[in-house]
């Protein structure tokens, strides 16, 4: 739900340790002009320096965000892959578009004050925290990264740092009524599910609904696919997964809806 005096959202994440901070931005509360604005003619909080927005507006937007954080976020150059970085090993930087950010789609931290961030505009952001509040993580999961194992890689990196029981929160992504994919995407997930038996195949098949009048086209439930993979990987407490970036024009940027658009930020850190 929205914080009382800020343009961003505070994730509804039961059991999140008090020593962990989380934040989800919206398109509201920034300085970017159309088509990166707030959708109502006011400034938009676009955080992406690679989408065609005025670089100085992006810098100002990031400064507005930075004021609510303990440190500059660890920006990534996201490529729909599965690489995970430990933000404690990264030098501080602010401009992912200038080639200073590492090429990765997930990050973890076990050091207080280091901020993990993922940028999205329809892809699924997933935030992670162990129940002890000693290790956190953030992953960018479009369908390619999800199929290739970016969530599992992030969990493995956290567990290598000593994390035991881990919970997750799924941030705003394109919803099951708007995410159109081809038969080849469905085939990839079904093939992967076969290794886990008939129940997994059935659950995966249920996440793809045929589109009437369109041959080999489906509406995919990205949240359901991610939830199944998380549970298979031992994450039993998964929250969020209720928003749709494509339908909620008032709060979220959406690449599928608008083409040229800004980027949202999903952030987590140890205080």
Q: Where are the domains of the chain?
A: 20-175+235-270
Residue 6 has pLDDT above 80, yes or no: no
pLDDT digits 0-9 by tens, 149-208: 999 999 999 999 999 999 999 999 999 999 999 999 999 999 999 999 999 999 999 999
From 3.10.129.10, 3.30.1360.150, 3.60.140.10, 3.40.430.10, which CATH number describes the 20-175+235-270 domain?
A: 3.60.140.10
28's CB contacts (< 8 A; 6+ apart) are 7, 8, 38, 42, 44, 45, 251
Q: Give the predicted TM-score (pTM) of the model.
A: 0.94
Integer CA distances (angstroms), 8 to 22, 24, 42, 53, 262, in order: 11, 6, 15, 20, 15
What pLDDT score was predicted for residue 90?
84
What pLDDT score was predicted for residue 125?
98
DSSP E strand boundaries for 15-155: 20-24, 28-32, 44, 84-86, 106-109, 115-120, 124-130, 136-141
What pLDDT score was predicted for residue 1?
35
Percent of the chain with pLDDT over 70: 95
Residue 2 has pLDDT above 50, yes or no: no
Please tell me whether the peptide bond between 268 and the residue prior to it is cis, using omega within 30 degrees of 0: no
């Amino acid at each position: 739900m929205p914080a009382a005096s800020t343009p961003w959202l505070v994730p509804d994440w039961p059991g999140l340790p008090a020593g962990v901070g989380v934040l989800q931005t919206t398109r509201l509360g920034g300085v970017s002009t159309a088509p990166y604005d707030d959708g109502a003619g006011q400034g938009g909080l676009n955080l992406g320096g690679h989408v065609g927005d005025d670089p100085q507006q992006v810098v100002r937007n990031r400064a507005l965000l930075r004021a609510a954080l303990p440190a500059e976020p660890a920006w990534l150059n996201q490529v729909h892959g599965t690489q995970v970085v430990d933000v404690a090993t990264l030098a501080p930087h602010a401009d992912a578009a200038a080639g200073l950010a590492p090429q990765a789609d997930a990050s973890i931290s076990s050091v207080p004050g280091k901020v993990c961030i993922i940028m999205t505009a329809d892809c699924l952001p997933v935030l992670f925290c162990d129940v002890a509040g000693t290790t956190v993580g953030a992953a960018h999961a479009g369908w390619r990264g999800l199929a290739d194992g970016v969530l599992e890689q992030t969990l493995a990196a956290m567990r290598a740092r000593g994390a035991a029981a881990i919970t997750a929160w799924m941030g705003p992504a394109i919803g099951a009524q708007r995410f159109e994919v081809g038969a080849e995407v469905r085939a990839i997930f079904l093939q992967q599910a076969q290794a886990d038996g008939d129940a997994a195949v059935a659950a995966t098949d249920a996440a793809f609904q045929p589109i009437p009048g369109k041959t080999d086209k489906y509406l995919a439930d990205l949240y359901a696919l991610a939830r199944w993979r998380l549970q298979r990987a031992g994450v039993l407490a998964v929250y969020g997964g209720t928003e749709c970036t494509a339908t909620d024009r008032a709060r979220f940027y959406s690449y599928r809806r608008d083409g040229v658009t800004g980027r949202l930020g999903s952030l987590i850190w140890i205080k």
